Amino acid sequence: ETGVTQSPTHLIKTRGQQVTLRCSSQSGHNTVSWYQQALGQGPQFIFQYYREEENGRGNFPPRFSGLQFPNYSSELNVNALELDDSALYLCASSRQGITGDEQYFGPGTRLTVT
Amino acid sequence: GESVGLHLPTLSVQEGDNSIINCAYSNSASDYFIWYKQESGKGPQFIIDIRSNMDKRQGQRVTVLLNKTVKHLSLQIAATQPGDSAVYFCAENTGGNQFYFGTGTSLTVIP
């Protein structure tokens, strides 16, 4: 098991609501990346945080936002939830200048929007 | 935009046989590739990686082959075991922060 934890495990929200997902990074890692994985699809990059600042963003609207804290844990916030936001949200912890074997994924948060 | 796709969405193999999972990518600028394994209820787990200056890389029971001419990547698993049953993704990187994942291949190992 990786040292990356995510909370909550599952979440059900109503369309139009807001949600906050949390990720605790592996010890020694200063970078957190967030991914959205729709059912039957591969993960899609949302954004990355490094030293508390956004450091790259995928093709997601501004209602997807994030934070990184001094202990390198991170939050993903989604406003005005839409049905298509239903997915597994993964965070990945790493050091900057990553190689693949140094990026560890958490188990994900399953978000259902009704 | 990026496009990483897999030729087969599902693959069934007999235990002990070798498995080959294929992946096509479209961005010729991609220079780093990773294969991930994702079991039910878990996040993706790193299997093996390869850089574009290599054609082949071997790990424990796994081999990745890269054909840059046709932009094709494959993962070979030797002596497939029941514990290898999972969804396998290839992911590509062009040197920035983003990894682009393919759709995935579901591997089922038949005992």
Tally of CB atoms within 10 A around A61: 10
Distance CA B12, CA B108 (A): 5
* Residue type present at position B46: F
Residue B102 pairs with which residues in a beta bridge? none
* Residue type present at position B23: C
| Neighboring chain A residues of B49 at a CB cutoff of 8 Å | 99-101
3-state SS of chain B: helix, strand, coil percent to 5? 5, 55, 45
Q: Which of A64, A112, A96, A36 is nearest to B101 (CA)?
A: A36
Confidence band, pLDDT 50/70/90 cuts, at residue B94: confident
Per-residue pLDDT of chain A in tens (114 residues, 90 and over written 9) = 678 999 999 999 999 999 999 999 988 888 999 999 998 899 999 999 988 999 889 999 999 999 999 999 999 999 999 999 999 999 999 877 666 667 889 999 999 999
Tally of CB atoms within 10 A around B92: 25
Tally of CB atoms within 10 A around A96: 12
Residue B24 at interface with chain A, using a CB cutoff of 8 Å: no
Chain B neighbours among A 70-99 (CB < 8 Å)? 90, 92, 99
Q: Are B52 and B72 in contact (CB under 8 A)?
A: no
Q: What is the pLDDT of residues B31-61, one digit of tens each?
A: 899 999 999 989 999 999 999 999 999 999 9
Q: Are A23 and A35 in contact (CB under 8 A)?
A: no
